[in-house]
Amino acid sequence: MVTEVLMPKMGLTMTEGTIEEWKKKEGDAVKVGDVLYSVATDKLTNDVECDTEGTLLKILSGEGETVACKTVVAYIGQPGEAVPAGGAAAPAAALTAAAPAAAPVAAGSKTVVVVGGGPGGYVAAIRAAQLGAKVTVIEQEHLGGTCLNIGCIPTKCLLHSAELISQIKDQGADIGVKVDGVAVDFPQVIRHKNAVSKQLTSGVAGLLKLNKVAKIDGEAAFTAPGTLSVKKTDGSIENMTADAIIVATGSVNFAPPIPGLKENPNCIDSTGALSLSELPKSMVVIGGGVIGLELACAYAAFGTKITVVEALDHMLPMLDGDLTAIGEAHMKRMGMEFHLECPVQAVESSPVGAKVVCKNRAGETVSFEAEKVLVAIGRRANTASLNLEAGGLNNDRGRILVNDKMETSVPGIYAIGDCVMGHAQLAHTASAMGEVAAENICGVPAVYDEKTNPTCVYMEPEAAGVGLTEEQCKAKGMKYKVGKFPMSANGKALILNGGEGLVKIIADAKYGEVLGMHIIGPRATDLIAEGALAIRLEATVDELISTIHSHPTVTETLREAALNVEKRSIHMKN
């Protein structure tokens, strides 16, 4: 008996799916549980498993085709059985197509080329396509950029595994969960990271297809203002022009000119730290910024001995000082060592792996040995191959100058994300800029405003901040008020991590307008959205106070911190 293979409906809002890849071919024997094909929908890719046994007789919908849910895409039966006549799947786009929202330009009347398919580039491409433009993305490596492939998402995968290990070891017995033989299967940690990245990058590819965005695999460079030469992966070269070009090439790891660094194979950057085959017993981290400390926290939780060396007298300069102090204290309890005002002089070979030679604050030479050395000094704009001078783009050492519309010095050329000058190098920054650029290109006035842009650090415990820090208020000579509330006085935080952390709100002294919100503790990177919205709406602490926050949740700490600004907290002494 011939069995139909259908496009599944995997959620209430799913109406169609794009077949990414057939895992089986016609004539293959299949059994229950075999993966038949992968399907992309929204921003996810899922595998469709076989629920019968037999032979894959006929595939009706090929790779890249979009079909409606419950549509027959293949038939399974016994060898020699006839499949029903006709029955070819109709593309779902023809069945369920909806007009793009608010298109101020006629469909296809604008041509847009986006150089780079990261979180800035692919978002810009989709937004421009929604607004009626004909869009092409040029990507020389992987869709999703640094964020999905070798940055945000892979790092958070490692941190999630590390957090689970820490919870079992540090909290398990206290909360009545006893586990024997807890161990880190590091190769599986890396496999899980790779699987999540692949699922998300495949989802991005599906989104571009759903929005009719063309993709060219290759490397682009300017040959003149508004003209690109694209060297494709097949070796051919294509010259391209468009009504608008968006440069979204992101950033790359920066390797400082430290003697001996490049020559030692045990010196790695963040990309290397996310691809190790074995868990190192020891690691020296050069740099006390976000990238270095996030990876340091993950590896410390896995059992690696971590030593951090930093040239400045403090770490995480983007965070409010109160948050940094709590984070540093926690990391020290994890066994991490910190050496501040300790600039690196050289890297030498060592039987262990590598020796990092530094000068401490007293001017003495000190050294630290480890199996691996993670170099996390920072990142620089990925524009070296773009030939910016030929394109006429004003830049500062490769960082492209833009205005708040994301316009460059050349009309019709825009730049977004890590490759621009003077803005936070964050994935959500790039995405926001991408939407602004696309909307301006397509006739929808938009500006980029960074004051609501949160900074998130996924160390342990995680921290986030938006708006002004207390240090910045002091430097500006502003009159302000501060409210604080400890996580230890919140029931949900006590349950989640023992109550470690703090919420801090900075408000204007006269009117109580929220100027900044800073959080360290459980769910900090999720909670910070309330602070960003408060700043966007020019909300006052009174408005936060008058907003009911559900119980028991960590969100209650935000209201209590607002209450403390007015010295009337309920659950702590003011």
Q: Which amino acid is at 540?
A: T
Burial (0-12, 13-18, 19+ Cβ within 10 Å), 145? buried
Distance CA 276, CA 265 (A): 12
Report the DSSP beta bridge partners of residue 40.
18, 45
Known catalytic membership, residue 142: no
Q: How do 413-415 and 379-381 pair as beta strands?
A: unpaired
Q: Please report, for residues 85, 156, 163, 335, the alpha-carbon distance to residue 160 in angstroms, rounded to integers and kept in the order given.
A: 50, 6, 5, 19
Compute φ and ψ for 47, nearest 5 degrees.
-90, 140
Residues 238/228, Cβ–Cβ less than 8 Å: no
Q: What is the rounded distance in angstroms from the CA atom of residue 546 to the CA atom of residue 234? A: 61
Determine how β-strand 514-520 pairs with β-strand 502-508.
antiparallel
Q: How far is CA 267 from CA 115, 185, 259, 294, in A?
A: 31, 23, 12, 18
Cis peptide bond prior to 343, omega within 30° of 0 = no
E strand intervals along 459-539: 463-467, 480-486, 502-508, 514-520
Phi and psi angles of residue 260, each rounded to the nearest 5 degrees, phi first? 85, -10
String of DSSP letters for 350-405: -SSSEEEEEE-TTS-EEEEEESEEEE-S-EEES-TTS-HHHHT--EETTEEP--TT
**What is the spatial distance between Cα 230 and Cα 237, in angstroms, rounded to a whole number?**
5
What residues does 396 pair with on adjacent strands? 399
Rounded CA gap, 490 and 425, in Å?
Answer: 33
* Number of other residues whose CB lies within 10 A of the CB of residue 572: 15
- For residue 83, give Cα distances in angstroms to 2, 389, 504, 534, 557: 7, 61, 66, 60, 62
CA nearest to 71, candidates 164, 159, 23, 4: 4
| Distance between CA atoms of residues 554 and 500, nearest Å | 12
Q: Which of 330, 423, 551, 571 is catalytic?
A: 551
How many of the other CB atoms lie within 10 Å of CB of 398?
A: 16
- CA atoms of 275 and 197, how far apart (whole Å): 13
Neighbours of 181 (CB within 10 A): 4
| DSSP code of residue 83 | P
Residues with a catalytic annotation lie at: 551
